[in-house]
Structure 1
Amino acid sequence: MAIARRQSGTLPAARALASQIHPVFMLPPVAVSLTGSLLAARETGSFGPTIAALHATAIFTAVYTAHLKDGYVDFFVRGEDDDHPLSATGCRVGLVAAGVVFLAALTGVFLTAGLGGAALTAPTWALGYFHAPQLDTNPVTATGGYPAGIALALLGSFVAGHGSLTPAVLGLAGVLLAVLLGIKVIDDAQDYAYDRSIEKRTVAVVLGRSRARQTAEGCLAAGLLGVAGLAATGVFPTGTILAVFAFGGVAAIARRADPRLATMLLVRGAYVFLALLLIALWYRPMAGPLPIDIGVFGPYTYLATEVVFGALALALLWRGEAIASAARSIVVLYPLAYVWDWYTLEVGIFAIELRTGIDLLAIPLEEHLFMIVVPGLVIGIHETLRDSDT
């Protein structure tokens, strides 16, 4: 009973089984499991290493099961793959071994953390085992299986460490689900021609490449808007908005890339996205006192900020040879901006405290500069982005 297809013996069998461990595929779910444990520790004030290790082990074996079963079906059942390091018997042995380890880890989660964490973790094995050939033939389950498993990994580990769900962790799971759905749709589009030839119904095959890409971008946008909405309503700390800016920039670059490059960019961007979310949820960097308070400039504070951002605007406009066009736009915009500014100050919508006190035409001097700096900065950024696209 050979485990490896080409060689017999313990060492070749171990190598063949180990070949089914793919870090790119398996690291995200395990990392998200540990993230849930860390967030639970943030809420409870104590970290349970045993629970965290048991849950991470369960998630690892669930994903290992998915990869092993997928390879078995694609090579031995469908004949899609050209090669496989394991024999059919070896695949079955690996699946049984992974199932036993998963069951043992799940039992450990149940005994140490209770039913809630175990109940949310158990479906991850089912998602892995039934991915092929049952779930991967439907565009919804084929695309949603991996993202759903990651969302469950987060929720299961958090409940195992905390005891119950919170709005913040539910929101985080939903955000990750939306973003990963978008990445998965783009990733599947890499195999569009092959999947279509074997009548495999991925989202790209069902909707077509263009509409599938639009669907993926909609999922990514929903995830980013979800973070912004949760931050605006106080469910997430304000600092999580930084993750939106970071991943949004990556998504904007990936938008023009082919599916292969876009997937590479977005997967790496997703790691940064999750890391920034975790940092913001843990440290809440924008909730405490400011690390740098430029209010020490007193009445010249507002003016100082305009000098800094005005210099940046001028540099961008100079680089883009757009000073003349920016000046024309500012001249046209200025009267409207002036009336709007005068009115909002007059009715008391906002007040400016750290200013020089110099007024010109019934509004502060700094507001006149503001109406020049902001349009200049916008046009400078626009010209810079346009140059990078050409």
Structure 2
Amino acid sequence: MAFSRHGTGSRAAAAALASQVHPVFMLPPVAASLFGAILAERFAPGPLGLHVAATFFAVYTAHLKDGYVDFHRRGEDDDHPLTEAGCRWALAGSTLCFAAVTAALAFVSGPATALLTAPMWALGFFHAPQSDTNPVTTTLGYPFGIALAVVGGQHAQTGALAAEALAFGLVFLVTLAGVKIVDDATDYAYDRSIGKRTVAVALGISRGRRLAYALLYAGLTLVLVCTVDGIFPPTAPLAAVAFGLVAAVAARAGPSVATMLLVRGSYVFLAILVVAVWFRPLMGVPLPDIGMLGPYTYLATEVVFGAVALALLLRADAVWRAARTVLALYPIAFVWDWYTLTVGVFAIPLRTGVELAGIPIEEHLFMIVVPALVVGVHETLAGLDE
């Protein structure tokens, strides 16, 4: 029986099997498994090696099945190194290896770890032709596998679920879903011609791209929220900032270049998170206390955010629109602010003490800065859409 379509013998068969190891797509799941172990703050070699191996065989199965379906069944690909029989035998072998490793993982780390690991194979095996034609499943399959690798890698070490691993899994699920939507847009014309419903085909390129960047924004914001809540280490937001800068550049590029940038940005994202979790720099260091400014503290924050608002408005040429909005909202904000201060809803201790029309001068500035900032962000986003 021939394995390779381009040669005979064991060397050709080995080369054909090795061709299905795609480092660009295989390294992130394996790295996610290692990241899960880092979250556990311990490295038990047995569970670590078994879970990494299970992750590898799950992704390898996905590549084998994808190539088998796309070339031998759909005729989408121009070439494939394995024969049809070779694909089937390779799929059987990779599935057997995955099952053996997962069974060993159940013995070493417990049945729960095996239950968290098994879905990774299902995601890979049923990606094509079952789930890769639906906009939801084709988008979430790979990101969900990454999330499972993080959670399973941590569980393999400790035998218990941890909030930190679950939160990181959710972050990767949301952000990588955004990357996947952009990636799928590169094949928009072909996918549409064969009736393959990716998000780009279902929503259109423009709306799909907006959804992609909304998911990226949501995932990166989740990093900040989890850090403030104490789930993530203090330096984790640096990873979100780095990835956000890459995403901002990618937003102005076409699908192919944007995909290249976002994939590499996700590597940077993971690398910085690894450093943040492994070394935990700034852990225990208190936040800078701007209260040292005393009565000028509130005023100083308004100057900073007011400067940001003004810069956005100047860039978007929207100063007059912002001024009109501020004037329209000012009477409403004034009554609301005066009433809440009068009945004691909140207090402002770090202020100058200067009042105008019955409320602190800082509150008057607040009623200008906040609407201006909102308009500045809105107009900037509108400019990006155009």
Q: TM-score, normalised by structure 1?
A: 0.76
Change in Cα spacing, 1:117 to 1:332, as seen in structure 2 (3 Å) is: same
Distance in 2 of aligned mates of 1:181 and 1:58: 23
Task: Tell me if structure 2 keeps the 8 A contact 1:175–1:226.
Answer: no
Q: Which moved more, 1:351-360 or 1:243-252?
A: 243-252
| Code of the aligned partner of 1:346 | T
Instruction: Tell me the alpha carbon deviations over residues 206-263 of structure 1, each in whole angstroms, 9 at most, x when there is no partner.
Output: x463798399559938964994998599695697788888878877887787655565
Change in Cα spacing, 1:211 to 1:293, as seen in structure 2 (3 Å) is: closer
- Deviation of 1:117 after TM superposition, in Å, equals 0.8
Distance in 2 of aligned mates of 1:388 and 1:182: 17
Task: Tell me if structure 1 keeps the 8 A contact 2:66–2:128.
Answer: yes
Aligned match of 2:204: 209
Distance in 2 of aligned mates of 1:175 and 1:141: 18
Match of 1:79 among 57, 75, 81: 75
Taking only the aligned residue pairs, the percentage that are identical comes to 57
The alignment of Structure 1 onto Structure 2 pairs a total of residues equal to 385
Q: Which moved more, 1:277-286 or 1:192-201?
A: 277-286
Distance in 2 of aligned mates of 1:352 and 1:346: 12
1:12-91 → structure 2 map (5 Å cutoff): 12-41=12-41, 46-88=42-84, 90-91=86-87
Aligned match of 1:369: 365
Output the aligned Cα RMSD.
4.4
- Deviation of 1:303 after TM superposition, in Å, equals 2.5
Distance in 2 of aligned mates of 1:383 and 1:219: 17
1:334 correspondence with 2:330: yes
| Code of the aligned partner of 2:208 | R
1:132 correspondence with 2:128: yes
Instruction: Tell me the alpha carbon deviations over residues 58-111 of structure 1, each in whole angstroms, 9 at most, x when there is no partner.
Output: 101110111022212322333321112234454345435434543443243223
Instruction: Tell me the alpha carbon deviations over residues 324-358 of structure 1, each in whole angstroms, 9 at most, x when there is no partner.
Output: 55444434433333322222222222222222222
Aligned match of 2:215: 220
Distance in 2 of aligned mates of 1:61 and 1:52: 14
Q: TM-score, normalised by structure 2?
A: 0.76
Change in Cα spacing, 1:218 to 1:323, as seen in structure 2 (3 Å) is: closer
Aligned match of 2:345: 349
Task: Tell me if structure 2 keeps the 8 A contact 1:186–1:263.
Answer: yes
User: What secondary structure sits across from 1:83 in the alignment?
Assistant: coil
Change in Cα spacing, 1:22 to 1:227, as seen in structure 2 (3 Å) is: same
Distance in 2 of aligned mates of 1:200 and 1:270: 26
Q: Which moved more, 1:353-362 or 1:377-386?
A: 377-386
- Deviation of 1:54 after TM superposition, in Å, equals 1.9
Task: Tell me if structure 2 keeps the 8 A contact 1:154–1:173.
Answer: yes
Instruction: Tell me the alpha carbon deviations over residues 287-314 of structure 1, each in whole angstroms, 9 at most, x when there is no partner.
Output: 9553422222222222233333334444
- Deviation of 1:286 after TM superposition, in Å, equals 10
| Code of the aligned partner of 1:72 | Y
Distance in 2 of aligned mates of 1:318 and 1:187: 34
Q: Which moved more, 1:371-380 or 1:79-88?
A: 371-380
Aligned match of 1:299: 295
- Deviation of 1:374 after TM superposition, in Å, equals 3.1
User: What secondary structure sits across from 2:299 in the alignment?
Assistant: helix
| Code of the aligned partner of 1:38 | I
Task: Tell me if structure 2 keeps the 8 A contact 1:231–1:241.
Answer: no
Change in Cα spacing, 1:166 to 1:314, as seen in structure 2 (3 Å) is: closer
Distance in 1 of aligned mates of 2:128 and 2:321: 58
Task: Tell me if structure 2 keeps the 8 A contact 1:178–1:219.
Answer: no
1:149-228 → structure 2 map (5 Å cutoff): 149-167=145-163, 169-174=165-170, 176-181=172-177, 183-185=179-181, 187-200=183-196, 207=202, 209=204, 213=208, 220=215, 224=219, 227=222
| Code of the aligned partner of 1:119 | L
Change in Cα spacing, 1:273 to 1:352, as seen in structure 2 (3 Å) is: farther
Unaligned runs of 5+ in 2: none
Task: Tell me if structure 2 keeps the 8 A contact 1:227–1:241.
Answer: no
Task: Tell me if structure 1 keeps the 8 A contact 2:239–2:269.
Answer: yes
Unaligned runs of 5+ in 1: none
Change in Cα spacing, 1:355 to 1:276, as seen in structure 2 (3 Å) is: farther
Change in Cα spacing, 1:225 to 1:313, as seen in structure 2 (3 Å) is: closer
Task: Tell me if structure 1 keeps the 8 A contact 2:151–2:161.
Answer: yes
Distance in 1 of aligned mates of 2:209 and 2:313: 33
Distance in 1 of aligned mates of 2:20 and 2:168: 29
User: What secondary structure sits across from 1:132 in the alignment?
Assistant: helix
Task: Tell me if structure 1 keeps the 8 A contact 2:182–2:209.
Answer: no
Change in Cα spacing, 1:211 to 1:376, as seen in structure 2 (3 Å) is: closer
Task: Tell me if structure 1 keeps the 8 A contact 2:33–2:150.
Answer: yes
Task: Tell me if structure 2 keeps the 8 A contact 1:176–1:223.
Answer: no
- Deviation of 1:55 after TM superposition, in Å, equals 0.7
Task: Tell me if structure 1 keeps the 8 A contact 2:17–2:82.
Answer: yes
